Amino acid sequence: MASVPSPLEPGPNTISGQKGLRIPFFILLVRKSVRLLLTMLLIPTVVFFVLRVIPGDPALVVAGFDAPPEVVEDLKVKLGTNHPPLIQYEEWILSLAQLDFGTSLISNEPVLKLILERFPLTLSLAVAGMLCALLIAIPLGVMSAVRRWTLWDYGGMVFSQIGISLPSFWLGIILLLIFAVKYPIFPLFGGDSPWHLVLPSIALGINRGAVLLRLVRTAMIEELGKEYIITARSKGLPELAVRYRHALRNALLPVLTIAGIQFGYMLGGAIVLEQIFSLPGLGRLILSAVFQRDFPVIQGGTLFIAAVFSLVNFLVDLLYSLVNPRIRVG
Amino acid sequence: MGSEVLLEIKDLAVEFTAHQRKIPAVRGIDLTILPGQFHALVGESGAGKTVTSLSILRLLPPNVSNLRGSIKFNDHDLLQLSEEVMRNLRGREISMIFQEPAKYLNPSLKAGVQVMEAIRYHMGYSEKAARERVCELFEKVGLSDPELAMDRYPHEFSGGMKQRVMIAMAISCNPSLLIADEPTTSLDVGVQRQIIHLLLDLQRSSNMAILYITHDLGIVRYAADVISIMYAGKIIESAPKDVLFSSPLHPYTRLLLASIPSREKRGTRLQGIPGTVPNPEDLPPGCAFHPRCPLAQQKCKENVPPLVRIEAGHRCACFFPGKEFGSLL
């Protein structure tokens, strides 16, 4: 036995021996940007053809069915529908490339100007709604996961079930009736102060928050069962640090992705709630355009929302890879 | 090496309940570790080694239905301490490294941050002081370029280096006991040696005791001071390393030793142990090893052999300690 050489010789060890696994953020940015650009080209195409597929000549609808033919012809020229669809499509794309969304048939103002006037309100409503959703989902979800199968957890689940089942427009009306009509704490309509956003963003946030809550709970339960949690506890960290610093950090990755995707829906929900709370946002602009058959505004508004939606997802992707360095591998 | 005892486990038994079935993972073990001692706990998987180590830190999963015995650490029974006091011991006095560093490191926190946590929490270091300490530690555990390593995520290290990060984390507050649960099992052979070498260095330079858990007797052959062999939730033999290797008494130990490849045995057939480890839910009566034991008699099927002292420091739980296998093998 004495002749056996000691196996305890130290060997070489360098970090530089490792290949750099990290894909540079820059390359990722380029990749995702190309994808975004392609989407941006696709969206106007879809918007254009969807509107053309809808039956009924737009000019006829706008002018009224009993309008004299020369008025209709006039409108066709104004709308550009006197050309074949492919020519129209070409013109639409070319003008879009110059950021020209056309002019409103009703107010004669540039569509882009109308959109940009209204959009900040819609955006801030969606952001406030998302904030509200996360403020509900994260603490309740963590609580449910940590105390799972207790009354706390069941309480969270019941809340989530109710929240998912309640449509936000209904919740909006109820909130409005209680907190603006019966107890006039919040304003009934209008949108010139952040105060006006409180009720609609709660209505938006409860619904989305209820969905995210389940996600946070599931993700937290999964993360709390992982081995690195034992390491964190074996270091003597207090339970709060184990939960929020270690587990939640990893649990937030899937939650962030879904929240990002939901942000698009948040914009959609905001458009509905604008109606209920009489907020002069993008939704009201598009809706009144629909009633008035203001095609350039409908077209431009839809395109704008779709573009914002893709842009948000693009940003979420980038954010995700910043939070989770492993995404950058592969 | 002081003569007082650092850790004294007495009659520790841990039972889990899963799917309404009771699983006795540890069935009454005694174990003593002196300050600065390298104590190896050897056994096949499912023998209860990891459960033993997790009970020392009181980090057992919540489905423990029965926990008996005492674990005295510097004369305090760990099983009786409040959670808060216990938390102050974890990472500071007793720390632990694990089998798969890839899983036991948080994937989304930088290595430096993870090592820093215990230092900041237990020793109240400022961010800057903690960073310096991490640098020192990284150098100590053989990570070149500590500044760079600190800002890397776990997946950017190789397996061996992840384990070095874990070790740096574990020794960051100069603990008096390090529990190493199969720290080299998932690593390449060459890296295994480096890690054991590192642990030995640390043990000697800072008089830190190590409870080294492994299924591989060969790996602790050069490092351990004392070796305890565990089988089906019990310690069946315990002795100083040299004694255990030169005169093993329990048939299981002897079969284990026969199964280690070595230079002297070159050219001969390697000996395995017939049969498999019993399922803890369904242990055989009497000595749990008797179905696999070449020496088993009627007595072994009916009675549980107690762990008795054969000579100073050498204990064995067998009715026929050291009896020749003869022509049985």
pLDDT category at A23 given cuts 50, 70, 90 is low
One domain, residues A199 and A66: no
Of the three residues A48, A67, A97, the one that is the final residue of a domain is: A97
**Residues of chain A neighbouring B144 (CB-CB closer than 8 A):** 13-16
**Chain A stretch 286-325, residues whose beta carbon is closer than 8 A to a beta carbon of chain B:** 323-325
Q: Label the pairing between strands B234-240 and B314-316.
A: antiparallel
**Residues of chain B neighbouring A250 (CB-CB closer than 8 A):** 106-108
Minimal Cα–Cα distance from A137 to chain B, Å?
A: 21
Mean pLDDT computed over A252-261: 83
Mean pLDDT computed over A23-29: 78
When comparing pLDDT for B48 and A60, which is higher? B48
One domain, residues A239 and A278: yes
Measure CB to CB from residue A238 to each of B54, B87, B96 and give the nearest one: B87
Q: Is the pLDDT score of B3 beyond 70?
A: no
pLDDT at res. A263: 84
One domain, residues A91 and A223: no
B319 near B299, Cβ under 8 Å? yes
Measure CB to CB from residue B108 to each of A6, A18, A249 and give the nearest one: A249
Q: Where are the alpha helices (DSSP H) in chain A?
A: 25-53, 58-63, 69-79, 85-97, 111-146, 151-165, 168-176, 198-224, 227-234, 239-240, 248-276, 282-291, 295-323
Mean pLDDT computed over B112-120: 94
CB contact under 8 A, B90 and A234: yes
pLDDT at res. B225: 95
pLDDT at res. B251: 93
- What letter would DSSP give residue B107? T
CB pairs under 8 A between A and B: 131
pLDDT at res. B138: 95
- Flag the least confident range among A214-218, A296-300, B95-99: A296-300
- CATH 3.40.50.300: does it fit domain B7-322? yes
Determine, yes or no, domain membership for A28.
no
Q: Is the pLDDT score of B219 beyond 60?
A: yes
SS3 B325: coil
pLDDT category at A213 given cuts 50, 70, 90 is very high
pLDDT at res. B115: 95
CB contact under 8 A, B143 and A13: yes
CB contact under 8 A, B108 and A325: yes
When comparing pLDDT for B268 and A241, which is higher? A241
One domain, residues A127 and A235: yes
Q: Is the pLDDT score of A192 beyond 80?
A: no
Residue of A nearest to B179 (CA): A234
**Chain A stretch 243-282, residues whose beta carbon is closer than 8 A to a beta carbon of chain B:** 245-246, 249-250, 253
Minimal Cα–Cα distance from A227 to chain B, Å?
A: 5
Determine, yes or no, domain membership for A189.
yes
Q: Which of the listed ranges A310-314, A319-323, B253-257 does the model predict with the highest average pLDDT? A: B253-257
One domain, residues A65 and A161: no
One domain, residues A277 and A320: yes
Determine which of B106, B179, B201 to mutate to test the interface with A (most A C-beta atoms within 10 Å).
Answer: B106
- What letter would DSSP give residue A82? T
Question: Taking Cα atoms as reference points, which of B68, B193, B3, B142 lies closest to residue A17?
Answer: B142
Q: What is the pTM of this model?
A: 0.79
Question: What is the CA A221 to chain-centroid distance, rounded?
Answer: 26
The Cα–Cα gap between A238 and B84 comes to 9
**Chain A stretch 210-229, residues whose beta carbon is closer than 8 A to a beta carbon of chain B:** 226-228
The Cα–Cα gap between B160 and B215 comes to 19
Give me the CATH number covering residue A217. Answer: 1.10.3720.10
Residue A232's alpha-carbon distances to A74, B12, B60, B183, in angstroms, are 74, 25, 14, 17
Domain tally, chain A? 2
One domain, residues A66 and A167: no
pLDDT at res. A62: 74
Mean pLDDT computed over B111-124: 94
Q: Is the pLDDT score of A321 beyond 80?
A: no
pLDDT at res. A329: 43
Determine, yes or no, domain membership for A150.
yes
Mean pLDDT computed over A226-244: 94
| pLDDT tens digit sequence for B280-317 | 888 899 999 999 998 889 999 999 999 999 988 899 99
Q: Is A326 on the interface with B (CB under 8 A)?
A: yes
One domain, residues A207 and A71: no
A125 near A274, Cβ under 8 Å? yes
Mean pLDDT computed over A70-85: 79
CB contact under 8 A, B105 and A238: no
One domain, residues A126 and A222: yes
One domain, residues A163 and A76: no
Minimal Cα–Cα distance from A253 to chain B, Å?
A: 10
Determine, yes or no, domain membership for A24.
no
pLDDT at res. A15: 38
pLDDT category at A325 given cuts 50, 70, 90 is low
- What letter would DSSP give residue B64? E
B200 near B220, Cβ under 8 Å? no
Determine which of A15, A18, A239 to mutate to test the interface with B (most B C-beta atoms within 10 Å).
Answer: A15
The Cα–Cα gap between A207 and B103 comes to 36
Determine, yes or no, domain membership for A7.
no
| pLDDT tens digit sequence for A299-317 | 888 889 888 888 888 887 7
pLDDT at res. A191: 62
| pLDDT tens digit sequence for A108-163 | 899 999 999 999 999 999 999 999 999 999 999 999 999 988 999 999 999 999 99
B109 near A258, Cβ under 8 Å? no
The Cα–Cα gap between B253 and B174 comes to 34
One domain, residues A122 and A194: yes
Of the three residues A44, A64, A97, the one that is the final residue of a domain is: A97
CB contact under 8 A, A230 and B105: no
pLDDT category at A326 given cuts 50, 70, 90 is low
pLDDT at res. B141: 92
Burial string for A248-279 (b: 16+ CB within 10 Å, else e) reads: bbbbbbbbbbbbbebbbbbbebbbbbbebbeb
Q: What is the ipTM of this complex?
A: 0.89
**Which residue range forms the structural domain that includes residue A205?**
118-328
Own/partner pairs for B30-34, CB < 8 Å, 24+ apart?
B30/B235, B30/B307, B31/B7, B31/B228, B31/B235, B31/B238, B32/B5, B32/B7, B32/B8, B33/B5, B33/B6, B33/B7, B33/B8, B33/B177, B33/B209, B33/B211, B34/B1, B34/B2, B34/B3, B34/B4, B34/B5, B34/B6, B34/B209
Residue of B nearest to A323 (CA): B108
* pLDDT above 90: percentage of residues in chain B: 70
* pLDDT above 70: percentage of residues in chain B: 95
State the average pLDDT for chain B: 90
Measure CB to CB from residue B148 to each of A11, A15, A241 and give the nearest one: A15
One domain, residues A149 and A68: no
B133 near B125, Cβ under 8 Å? yes
Determine, yes or no, domain membership for A306.
yes
- Flag the least confident range among A1-5, B92-96, B244-248: A1-5
Sign of the torsion formed by the C-alpha atoms of B184, B190, B194 and B196: positive
Question: Taking Cα atoms as reference points, which of B216, B112, B124, B98 lies closest to residue B154?
Answer: B112
Q: Is the pLDDT score of B238 beyond 90?
A: yes
pLDDT at res. B15: 93
pLDDT category at A327 given cuts 50, 70, 90 is low
When comparing pLDDT for B9 and A318, which is higher? B9
Residue bearing tokens 């009703």: A106
Q: Is the pLDDT score of A4 beyond 60?
A: no
**Residues of chain B neighbouring A249 (CB-CB closer than 8 A):** 106, 108-109
Q: What are phi and psi for residue B300, nearest 5 degrees?
A: -70, -25
A297 near A108, Cβ under 8 Å? no
pLDDT at res. B16: 92
